[in-house]
Amino acid sequence: MRTPPGISASDFSAALQKCANVIGQSWVFSSDEDVDLYRDAYSPVRGLVDERVPSAALAPASVEEVQSLVRIANEYRIPLYPVSTGRNLTYGGTAPVYNGSVVLDLKRMNRILEINEAGAYCMVEPGVSYFDLYRYIHAHKLKLRIDPPDPGWGSPTGNSLEHGVGRGPYRDHFRAHCGLEVVLGNGDLLRTGMGALPGSGSLWQRFRYGYGPYIDGIFSSSNFGIVTKFGIHLLPEPELSRVFDISISRYEDLDDFVQEFAQLFDVGVLNSISQMGMPLLSMQIPEARALLESPGGGSSTQWNELRDRLGKPPWQITQLNCQGPAKIVEAQYDYIVDRLSRFSGFKVESRRDYGPSPDPDQVPGQDKCALGIPSLVIFGGVGMGRGHGHLDFSPAYPMTGEAVRKINQLLQQGYREADMPWRGWTGGNTWFDKTFTMITGFGLENDSEQNRKAVAAFRHLMQLLGANGFAEYRTHPLFQDLLLEQYSFNEHALRRFHETVKDAIDPQGILAAGRAGIWPKHLRDKREGRL
């Protein structure tokens, strides 16, 4: 039996026995065979000394059981690592940040506690997946649309808390939440917003602020509590959803094009997720590769000539989507087309219209997510087919042409310096207001030498981009200390603040030690230093 660091085998056995008394022996996992399932399937250090492996896992079925387990953990000072459905591949899966932590697996807490069609909201437990929610809504013929992320197997709770995203108007999942119930590190139970007002009923899932400090945000991307109830705003099933792809033809229009694209959001015409891509500027095309690697990276004239030869546009935006009443969607679409048609070579490459509740079997894989249909199609090769796993580098940057150029130039440099294969220019995803994000990174193999190189390259990208004001907003546990290290204003005032709060609300440091770079007082020496 593995044990958490500093805990004797006999104490650990005693603690697990107490846990078994609460949740039943069959929901305490301590055999290597069982615990291995909680290892990070995409870990770049799998099997190496740096891999973080849980010592056991516990699967409670209720809030009361969670509280009891947290109290037992406090008694024995056992580090717990809560997960909801435990997906989050490439960002660590179910594996803890602090090696030897006990995974608190909330998958059995999978009740949809309320779903209100007229009010368009729901409240779920953390083990409810997007598939569960979708199936419930369709089984009950509710006129509601959910907003799943690309792989639909995760939970609204975990996805939202880790700043996951979908493709509809509620794309920024944390921002679409309303109301939390949280078990704190000492086992105490808290409800935020109107949940603290006895008898307020559905207002908990409607009005987010309640009275006084609005604390919900501190439970996102953190280790400050275990969320056991989670409210979400939903979209009434739209009359029309139009998904479309566009492109323009002149290389030199990048800045103007991104500016127009951003304005479409700012004036309220777009509010969903799309990707800006650069099909011509791909390292997979030998001539493009040569031009990208030439001094200066190619002039407008050279790129436009290449475009003419290859018939590929320099800039495109795919998966634009407008959802709502048909006539308004049409007006939005017309406005977008009208506004962008000033760009040379502008064209709508493809356009797909869908009515309310489209039959999932009739919707092509690429559009399922935008239409609120959870799927795993993204694992079938659409952009993910990289070896045995992947290590994603996820920076956020301003939605401007200047930032797109700058970050791509830095990435080109960084990949070259790290001797890793770069795929060429990436525009950005419109996951958050006024911001582009991208996912780049490295495939992983069953080859520890190759993976070691990927980890070193990842650190190199972090360092190079960080020195230029670009950083990730989420990352694999292996890099969480280093990422928070980059957010260093005023001698790490933000980290010092997080540590002060952590020590106050979880004084024994039980919950998810090290997550998001936040270590409890007695483990602060575990923190990794500079890059």
- Known catalytic residues are 91, 473-474
Distance, in Å, from the CA atom of 254 to the CA atom of 250, rounded to the nearest integer, reads 8
Stretch of 74-82, 113-121, 126-134, 372-380 lying at the interface with a second copy (CB under 8 A): 113-121
Which ranges constitute the DSSP H helices of 440-488?
448-466, 480-486
- Residue 198 or residue 295: which is nearer to a second copy going by CB? 198
Verify binding: residue 190, a second copy, rule CB under 8 A: yes
Number of C-beta neighbours around residue 221 at 10 A: 17
Q: Helices 63-76 and 9-23 meet at what angle, rounded to 10?
A: 160
Which ranges constitute the DSSP H helices of 229-352?
254-266, 286-293, 300-310, 326-340
Report the residue from 61, 106, 262, 273 that binds a second copy according to the rule CB under 8 A.
Answer: 262
Distance, in Å, from the CA atom of 213 to the CA atom of 218, rounded to the nearest integer, reads 11
- Residue 146 or residue 262: which is nearer to a second copy going by CB? 262
Report the residue from 120, 122, 288, 454 that binds a second copy according to the rule CB under 8 A.
Answer: 120
Distance, in Å, from the CA atom of 326 to the CA atom of 328, rounded to the nearest integer, reads 5
Q: How far is the CB of 200 from a second copy (least distance, A)?
A: 5
H/E stretch holding 413: helix 401-417
Calculate the alpha carbon distances from 411 to 278, 317, 407, 476 in Å: 14, 21, 6, 19
Q: How far is the CB of 518 from a second copy (least distance, A)?
A: 7
Q: How far is the CB of 381 from a second copy (least distance, A)?
A: 31
- Residue 110 or residue 202: which is nearer to a second copy going by CB? 202
Verify binding: residue 198, a second copy, rule CB under 8 A: yes
Q: How far is the CB of 242 from a second copy (least distance, A)?
A: 14
Distance, in Å, from the CA atom of 162 to the CA atom of 473, rounded to the nearest integer, reads 10
**Site of tokens 């001539």:** 287
Binding mask 134-173 for a second copy (x = CB under 8 A): -----------------------------x-----x----
Verify binding: residue 210, a second copy, rule CB under 8 A: yes
Verify binding: residue 269, a second copy, rule CB under 8 A: yes
Footprint of a second copy on 344-403 (CB under 8 A)? 396-400
Verify binding: residue 257, a second copy, rule CB under 8 A: no
Query: Binding residues for a second copy, how many (CB under 8 A)?
Result: 103
Contact 423, 440 (CB under 8 A): yes
Verify binding: residue 200, a second copy, rule CB under 8 A: yes
- Residue 208 or residue 242: which is nearer to a second copy going by CB? 208
Footprint of a second copy on 302-331 (CB under 8 A)? 323-325, 327-328, 330-331
- Residue 163 or residue 250: which is nearer to a second copy going by CB? 163
Task: Identify the three-state secondary structure at position 446.
Answer: coil
Contact 105, 94 (CB under 8 A): yes
Footprint of a second copy on 438-467 (CB under 8 A)? 466-467
Verify binding: residue 435, a second copy, rule CB under 8 A: yes
Footprint of a second copy on 461-520 (CB under 8 A)? 466-475, 483-484, 486-490, 493-494, 496-498, 500-501, 503-505, 516-518
Report the residue from 135, 434, 447, 521 that binds a second copy according to the rule CB under 8 A.
Answer: 434
Footprint of a second copy on 220-239 (CB under 8 A)? 220-222, 224, 233, 235-236, 238
Verify binding: residue 202, a second copy, rule CB under 8 A: yes
- Residue 383 or residue 469: which is nearer to a second copy going by CB? 469
CA dihedral over 132, 133, 134, 140, signed as positive or negative: positive
The candidate with the shortest Cα–Cα distance to 69, out of 112, 128, 109, 10, is: 109
The 10 Å CB-count burial string (b at 16+, else e) for 363-393 is beebbbbbbbbbbebbeeeeebeeeebbbbb
